[in-house]
């Protein structure tokens, strides 16, 4: 995968060769960084633990949820956020493309059961949605923003 290498950066991925959707995060080689590999059967994610010179930790996750994701996969995402990401020490940031089109981010309400569980997971873990306008438009379909953040 040398075509993805950038000078001065370490590349972290979700094993691009084995996944239909590749996720990459680049981190400067000057930053102490470790990739975390949770074993929950959900592979469309990358989680990193960064540490500054004062030994403060920051957990960063990039997660992808296809618009054709199954309910079983959606449950794995929620479990991933609860047990693999939020349970970690340190500040947190989630960058993602969750494709939850029925969530009203102004009111945090939805008519969908699985999306309701996702919103509950965010609330229980004190995660805040920072972007609440569409970030993806295809034809007449406008997907509301994703949870592109976690709060520390």
DSSP letters for 48-62: EEEE-TT--EEEEEE
Give 37-77 pLDDT, tens digit per residue: 877 777 788 989 999 889 888 888 888 888 888 999 899 88
Cα–Cα distance between 131 and 49 in angstroms, integer?
A: 23
Please give the share of the chain, as a percent, with pLDDT higher than 90: 24
Report pTM. 0.75
When pLDDT is averaged across residues 111-126 and rounded to a whole number, the result is 91
pLDDT surpassing 70 at residue 113: yes
Domains in the chain, CATH or no CATH each: 2-143 (3.60.10.10)
> Hey, what are 123's tokens?
């609330």
Q: State both tokens at 69.
A: 């994701």
Q: Angle at CA 121, nearest 5°, toward 120 and 122?
A: 90
């Amino acid at each position: 995968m040398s075509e993805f290498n950038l000078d001065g950066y370490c590349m972290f991925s979700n094993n691009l060769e084995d996944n239909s959707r590749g996720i990459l995060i680049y981190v400067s080689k000057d930053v102490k960084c470790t990739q975390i590999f949770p074993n929950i059967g959900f592979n469309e994610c990358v989680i990193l633990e960064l540490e500054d010179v004062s030994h403060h930790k920051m957990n960063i996750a990039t997660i992808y949820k296809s618009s054709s994701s199954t309910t079983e996969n959606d449950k794995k995402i929620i479990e991933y956020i609860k047990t693999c990401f939020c349970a970690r020490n340190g500040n947190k940031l989630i960058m993602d493309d969750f494709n939850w089109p029925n969530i009203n981010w102004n009111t945090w309400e939805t008519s969908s059961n699985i999306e309701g569980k996702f919103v509950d997971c965010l609330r229980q873990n004190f995660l805040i949605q920072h972007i609440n306008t569409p970030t993806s438009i295809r034809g007449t379909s406008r997907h509301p923003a994703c949870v592109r953040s976690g709060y520390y």
